[in-house]
Structure 1
Amino acid sequence: MLHWVRLSKYCELSGETPDAVSGRLRAGKWLRDIHARQPEGSSGLWVNLRAVNDWAEGKLPAQMHGQAVGKS
């Protein structure tokens, strides 16, 4: 199974819009390089389906475990 898909494929699968994805990234609900990223040499954004499924289930990304929420 693929873990990273182009934004257009994610939108096709989920029924969401590119604007919804951009809004989550701007609001910090999704994290760059965890939920979505633009790989070097790519002209567009890619979405991590595994991380998005975890987000939908209310799970923190593995990189954030042990960190205080809302603190840097």
Structure 2
Amino acid sequence: MKWVKLNKYCELSGDTPDAIYAKNRRRIWTKGVHYKKAEDGCIWINTEEVDKWVEASVEQDQSQSRRAA
């Protein structure tokens, strides 16, 4: 499933709703790509795009670690 409601995403990932709101406020995630707010006010998370974001973050951390070594 590509899009899941915020509560389901938190259940699956272990993140809290506050952590997700912080990512949105700090513009770590992009509205319309990683998350969207439906007309009824529900927050939906795009799990495919979040997975890509995680992979890119891990790769970036690994390359920074290699440079520091």
Question: Does the pair score TM above 0.5?
Answer: yes
Q: Which amino acid aligns with 2:47?
A: L
RMSD: 1.2
Amino acid at match of 2:19: A
Q: Deviations over 1:24-58 (max 9, x none)?
A: 01111101111010122x33100000000000011
Matched residue, 1:38: 37
Q: How many residues align?
A: 57
Match of 2:55 among 54, 57, 70: 57
Q: Which runs of 4+ in 1 moved over 2 A?
A: none
Give the TM-score normalised by structure 2.
0.77
Partner Cα distance (1:30, 1:47) in 2: 10
- Unaligned residue ranges in structure 2 (runs of 5+): 58-69
Decide which structure has greater helix share.
Answer: 2
- What does residue 20 of structure 2 align with? 21
Ranges in structure 1 where 5+ consecutive residues have no aligned partner: 60-72
